[in-house]
Chain A
Amino acid sequence: MTLAIVSTGLANIASVRAAFLRLGAEPALTDSARLVRDADAVVLPGVGALGPALARLRARDAEGDSLADALMARVAAGRPTLAICLGLQLLCTGSDEAPGVPALASADVHVARLDAAPSLPHFGWNEVVPTAASTLVRRGHAYFAHSYGAATAPRGFEVAWTVHGAPFVAAFEQGALLACQFHPELSGTYGAELLRRWLVRAPVAIGGARC
């Protein structure tokens, strides 16, 4: 019954941690591949640049394990995992932001610069519209802060969309795997309710009671 937030020192995780604390969860910060494999639920937050983040995730520890391998194994097994913003992009095949650098490829889509955007970075509250089969993500306004995104739907996931110049993926989900291009931890009540639904689906204790 553990909730781990991947903390590589590159991403700002204070807001994510605070959001889970408000929900009564007790997240542990970790850069241990073993903990990421073992935790009941894992959050992969992300702000900053894709290239350095991937290099950190792929670094081997003393046991020859890496955060990248641990995360890929979790996602492949359908274990409760939440990826936020750059975290979503890390799960894709690669990005214009770091050409030629392979990402974790858990989702078979490429991430491109939002060249059709009227303003960039895409900062602010935009409407998230899930497809009918989405169960975690609901319609509403969420807070985005990014310049790159996935223009096509990854196979095997239910997708939610948003539009800034052109449509792109706002979130994708499958079971207890949830990847959000927006920041649920900064999306007020809308975001808090989404995090709560994800926690309830994952076997994580909230406020002492098992959900």
Chain B
Amino acid sequence: MLTLRIIPCLDVDAGRVVKGVKFQGLRDAGDPVELARRYEAEGADELCLLDVSATHEARANAADTVARVRAVLGIPLTVGGGVRTLDDARRLLAAGADKVAVNSAASLRPALLTEIADTLGAQCCVLALDAARRLGVEPDNREAFEVEPNNRASFEVLTHGGRVRTGVSAVDWARRATELGAGEVLLSSVDHDGTGAGFDLALLRAVRAVTRVPLIASGGAGAGDDAARHCALAFEAGADAVLAATLFHFGGRTPDALKRELRELARASATSLPVRLGADA
């Protein structure tokens, strides 16, 4: 049976992991290579590396960071951030990425997804979709909110790191992008990101309903005691994988520890949450 995936995310700026991993006082905590090695050993199913470099010079280091991570990493590596052209994608794959995540550039020019899928394969073409509830929509009115077809119009696509609201329906864009060639959707809730309040389940369900490609849920896992329960709810809502940063950087949990909690939750509620423990290998 296909297992549910747990994907740690490394935000990298100029070759160093940011989001304050350094604050934890780990040795070499800011080195993506060391973290990649550690997360694989601790049961990560994949790794996601997002280049958040603010400057052009720092971005030029991305391929070098990917190559250094690839040298030690024996699990799949998705790389995103600043992928604007087919050549950008090709360069990252040549450096050692297995998939590239395309965000703003695909919104601006959807044909980029088709170019990547046709040339390099749909299996390496990930749509990174940042979505938020449309302003004015009442998030408190959950019951009404989750009723179709209200959902379709209720989420909009954000680009440029969440700074630009496009007005485009996130659900429509997910469907169109997978028709154009995206083989996977990394779905981030801008509203829930960093809150630890759990994933946006209405958003997950709405996107799940329009596409068959694997769905990675991001934004809201948190680092608290509820993290495993949040992940379980995301899987029940149709996610195939969850992506988290804070949980692993700050939460003191390893991917394997999270998976053991998921197994316990599944046992207690007699549901199915199949996971692979890295330690079983």
Contact = CB atoms under 8 A, between A and B. Distances in A.
Nearest to A193: B281
B120 A121 contact: no
B224 interface: no
A47 B143 CA distance: 44
B121 A15 contact: no
Of the four ranges (under 10, 10 to 19, 20 to 34, 35 or more), the interface on chain B belongs to 35 or more
Interface in A162-181: 163-164
Contacts of B74: 19, 22, 185-189, 191-192
Contacts of A125: 2-3, 5, 45, 276
Contact of B123 (A22, A121, A140, A188): A121
A24 interface: no
B124 A47 contact: yes
Interface residues of A, number: 37
A147 B98 contact: no
A126 interface: yes
Given A14-B94, A146-B123, A163 B118 contact: no
Contacts of A192: 74
A18 B70 contact: yes
7 contacts: A15-B96, A123-B240, A124-B214, A125-B3, A126-B1, A141-B3, A186-B98
Contacts of A119: 2, 212-214, 240
Given A123-B184, A125-B45, A188-B74, A141 B214 contact: no
Contacts of B94: 12, 14
Contacts of B214: 119, 121, 123-124
B93 A14 contact: yes
B281 to A, nearest CB: 4
Interface string A33-60: 0000000000000011100000000000
B75 interface: yes
A211 to B, nearest CB: 20
